[in-house]
Amino acid sequence: MILLELINGMGLNPKRVANIHGGEFHGECPVCGGKDRFIVQPYRQGTRCVGFYYCRQCDKGGDTVKFCIDILKMDYKDAVQRANATMPASYAHSFKPKNKIEHKETYLVSPKKAWVSKSIAFTEWAHKNLLQHDESLQYLTKRGIPYNAVVRYKLGYNPECIFRKRTDWGLDVEEEGNELVSFPAGIVIPFIEKSGNVTRLKIRRSDYTSDSKFSKYKIIPGSMGGANILGNVDLLIMIVVESELDYFAVHNAVGDIAFVVAVGGSTKNLDNVTADIARTKRYILVCHDNDDAGLKMLEKWQKIYSHAKACPTPIGKDIGEAIEQGLNIREWILGKIPVSLHPVDTPQKTSTEVVAPTLPAETPKEPEPLPVVEVQPQVVNTYIKADEWVMSDRPTIEWWLNLDRSKLAKGDYSQLDAEVALGPTSFAAKLGKLQGQLMKLKKHIDQQ
């Protein structure tokens, strides 16, 4: 029953659906936000404690001890105590990383059209709220995200917990009949593509404390899974962090020399897009937290990419704490890369930004109804035209569409054709990877 109490304390409230193992409950996953994929068996007897959970969407699962460690971020000793677990001698060190690190890539699925439209409107509304909320602006500045970065990344603020109909957001009503999705009060973290579409929404709860029984962040159901990538992926340096707020702070400091990836959790598997990019990068800096979970994250990355380099902060538990204690992020990162990759221009200034004056106070109200934004679905269109791309990409796409294929070396170009057919909404195009491949081919043919 302890496990169910912990989950209810996070505000998830799964519903009983079966009597197996004394009772099975289904609900929203606290990790990926899957609407009814999270299975809880609170009375199931395990080897060391009572309680079992598993998500059919993100594959996270385990007993109550593991839930306390992975989801509630407790240390091992506190997790055992909270779960009322009894540990045989053979399990005394079971929390240490295993030699074999399993890795299973996940594949990205774009959010639904209605969800994207609502998320764009919610992001705009929340962003206006944040620009009027001094307390949150000051907090973000201390975390290395000054006012200009707040505007640049369109961070937001939700003043109170609100509920919206799942169907309005393109989400199915849950099997248990739950028709609403909750948006807790806190800092709103959107992930915005070049097209302006919002593909992920996360909220850092303002009422979270170290004693809270719910997670610090909530992923809004319907968000696209996978890691978050910020910056120019053609740069040579890839910096990996765990938290999204650290992700913005690091990019704000060194976005001219590196792009940043936020994995959103030390145990999460990479998605196929991020994994493909990582394989091409010579320099991967893993800025893991200074704790056991951070070491597991580092070990996992180094098992997959042997050249990944450990890059923990010299002070503090994580990047956020290190910034608060005076660490200059830019100087720290520059000290971890070859001098040949250092920029020759004047270093960016990120620590002297001042929060802009507060706008006249007014009670923020969410727009009702939220405006509808037309978003093109990602479907293959074999009759794609160059004029559907942005101006800078059109010459390259037009060249490929009109190319005499006899000029190409022997090989299979079906993957390139498929990506071009997807148009500017394909993941490879959004990342600039497709355009880069085509430009290399064009350069090679022109030199023949």
Q: Which of 160-164, 234-238, 430-434 has the lowest mean pLDDT?
A: 430-434
Q: Is 90 exceeded by the pLDDT of residue 399?
A: no
- Long-range contacts, 299-303 (Cβ 8 Å, 24+): 299/97, 299/101, 300/101, 300/103, 300/267, 301/240, 303/101, 303/103
Closest C-alpha among 203, 195, 117 to residue 162: 203
Question: Hey, do 2-91 and 113-221 end up sharing a CATH topology, with the first three levels equal?
Answer: no
442 CB-contact burial (10 Å; exposed 0-12 / middle 13-18 / buried 19+): middle
Helix (H) or strand (E) holding 286: strand 283-286
Q: Is 50 exceeded by the pLDDT of residue 209?
A: yes
Q: Is the domain 113-221 a CATH 3.30.1330.10 member?
A: no
Tokens of 305: 């990419």
Convert the pLDDT of each residue in 252-296 to its tens digit.
999 999 999 998 776 667 778 888 888 888 899 999 998 888 888
pTM for this entry = 0.56
Q: What is the pLDDT, as a whole number, of residue 345?
A: 56
In this structure, how many other beta carbons lie within 10 angstroms of the beta carbon of residue 59? 14
Q: What is the pLDDT, as a whole number, of residue 426?
A: 67
Domain boundaries, the chain: 2-91, 113-221, 386-447
CA 426 remoteness from chain centre: 19
Q: Which residue has 């320099």 as its token pair? A: 283
231: left (phi over 0), alpha (psi -120 to 50) or beta: left
Q: Which of 151-165, 173-187, 232-246, 301-315 has the lowest mean pLDDT?
A: 173-187
Q: What is the pLDDT, as a whole number, of residue 193?
A: 87
60 touches 46 (CB < 8 A): no
What is the distance between the alpha carbons of residues 382 and 158, in angstroms, rounded to a whole number?
42
Q: Is 60 exceeded by the pLDDT of residue 338?
A: yes
Q: Is 90 exceeded by the pLDDT of residue 403?
A: no
162 touches 188 (CB < 8 A): no
Instruction: Name the more confident of 100 and 8.
Output: 8
Q: Is 60 exceeded by the pLDDT of residue 123?
A: yes
DSSP alpha helix (H) spans, 305-393: 319-324, 329-334
CATH code of the domain occupying 2-91: 3.90.580.10
Instruction: Name the more confident of 347 and 104.
Output: 104
- Assign 104 a pLDDT band (cuts: 50, 70, 90): low
Tokens of 370: 């939220």
Q: Is 70 exceeded by the pLDDT of residue 385?
A: no
Average confidence (pLDDT) over 122-147: 94
